[in-house]
Structure formats: C-alpha cells, structure tokens
Amino acid sequence: MPSSIAPQLATLVSTPPTGTGWAFEIKFDGYRILAKCGGGRAQLFTRNANDWTSKMQSLASEVAALPVDTAWLDGEIVVLDERGLPNFNALQNAFDGKRTEHIDYFVFDVLYLNGRDLRRLPFSARRPLLEELFAGHDAGHVRLSKVFEADGQSVFESARKLGLEGIIAKHRDAPYSSLRTKTWLKIKHQLRQEFVIGGFTTRTNGPREIGSLLLGVYDHAGKLHSAGSVGTGWDSKTAAAILRELEKIEIPKPPFDPEHAPTKGRWSRRAAGGERWVKPTAVAEVSFAEWTPDGSIRHATFEGLRRDKPASAIRRESALAGRKAPALRGS
C-alpha cells in the first residue's frame, strides 16, 4: 500500500461539460481529506499530507470501522448546518474550539482497496467498488458522496437553488491522477477562492476587532500581488479572534511586491496610515462579485480562514470557458 497519496485536483471552468461521459457530484464546502486505513486504524491527511488524525479522533475511529483490511479513501470533511448544508465557517469553528465530533466525512473515491491499487482504473470502475464498500455502512459521520445521473446543467441549477457552492464533474473514463487535471472540473455559482492575508485594519469603534483584511495572490514568479480587501462576513467574536491571531505575525512593512501594490491609501476604505502588516502565511477564503481591471476584488465577503492550504500555493483562479472543457472519449 502506498505510504502517501497526493489528491487529484479539479480545473475551474465556467459551465458544466456536456455529453454522457461525465459524472456529477456536489462541490462540498469544506477541507479535502485522504484517509489511510490498515491494521484496524485510520489516519486522516490534508491535501498537503499533514496528519490531522489527532484533531479528529472520533472521525478516524469511524473510518477505521469500515469493512476493509487496507484502503486509501478520498473525500471532504464538512460541518452541516440546520438545513443539512455544508457550512465552512462552522467547520473552522469546530477546529478552533476543538469540537470536531460533529464533522462529517463525505467519501467520493477509493484509490486503494484490500491490496489492490485502483488509481489506474477509470472512475466508472472505481465508483462501484466504493458503493459496495459503503453498502450498509453509509451512516454516522462517514458517508458516501452521491453521484447524480442528470445532465450537468440540471445538477448545477439544483445546487444553485439549494445554496450550494457548485458542482464537480468527473470523466467516467479517466484514471485517478495526483495533480490538477481536466478530467475533474469544478463549476461554481459565484467567484470564490483563497487569498493570502498581507495586512489588516481595525474597526473604527472597535480597536480590538478586525475592520478589514488586506488580500493578495502570488504569481508564478513568487511575487505577492495586492487583490484588494474584505471587510464583511464575520461577527464580533470572530473579528476579535482573527485580530489576536494576526497580531502574532505582525511585521513593520507591507509584504506585497512594490510593483503590484496599490498606491498609498488605497489598501482599504480607511484613511491611509491605518494599515498594519503581517507575514504572508495566513489564508482566507473569500467570495466576491468580480475582478476589477487592476486586479482587485469587488463586493467581497469573508468565508473563513483556511488551515489546510499553504499561502505559497495561492494563485488567482481563472475559469476556462465552457466550450474549452475537454471533450474526452465518451463525451
């Protein structure tokens, strides 16, 4: 059995692919987790191979109870709200408060099973094996992610009506590849991605709370570009907690590349001089309406801090046009 497996990543596209060669799933609003099972125990790894088993002991015990001798599983951990929908902020709060017993693990792929490496098999062959594994065991906090047989556009519209982030399209004939591919596609209802936190301001009437986060993305040369700011999406408790966390990594000068930083006073709506800077190591997930021509985001809303992704990997996401979605055999 492989000692480690890197996850397959999806390419962002603007519209769902068409044709019979695709399977569609919900895009979960959580953290990617790969589970390694063997010897009556399970280990839970983030997409960057960090072992989070100790953070989710009860969930690891449930995964270990699955009827397998050895296995590698791929899925997403989430916290469901009162409507049964994933809530990203609640997931973050579960880790911050060390109350992870309510985290659910939706498994959507099996990569290794009882001595057999399945990664070279097409998705259409791996999926029945996963369903067989979960037959009679889809209960508790370890659950099977559903595949929808309808056309992609219908699934996408249904997800939108439910208030979900989007959908994932997987080509049925494709093997599992530990890199970003065009055989897995993600389609979102609104612009949303991770940003590096390069600085912050405090509230005018609440100096012990965050007023705004000053955001950036790296280019492929490793230069941090300013991407604007976000000043909504948190309550007072969260704003105070973020401030305490960022003060620990505060630095005297902006971490943004000088050639890709806005002019003084345009970091936020606050007057110039109120900005404070931090080491570019913290990551925030933000939803927003659009990118401006100068590379800033508009109408942004904070969704939560990301603990599972390194800041150095954060880039601006650009969706391929729907017509450019790959047309593989069967589609």
Residues recognised as catalytic: 27
Which of 258, 271, 316, 255 is CA-nearest to residue 291? 316
Q: Say if residue 189 is exposed, middle or buried (CB neighbours under 10 Å; 0-12, 13-18, 19+).
A: middle
User: Could you give the CA distance from residue 62 to residue 80 in angstroms, rounded to a whole number?
Assistant: 18
Chain centroid to Cα 212, Å, comes to 22
Residue with tokens 């099972």: 37
Q: Tell me which DSSP letter residue 257 carries.
A: -
Task: Give 60-101 as a DSSP string.
Answer: HHHHHTSS-SEEEEEEEEE-B-TTS-B-HHHHHHHHHTT--T
Which of 217, 158, 220 is CA-nearest to residue 187? 158
Per-residue three-class SS string for 9-71: EEEEECCCCCCCCEEEEECCCCEEEEEEEECCEEEEEECCCCECHHHCHHHHHHHHCCCCCEE
SS3 185: strand
Tell me the C-alpha to C-alpha distance, in Å, between residue 78 and each of 35, 72, 97, 231. 15, 19, 15, 25
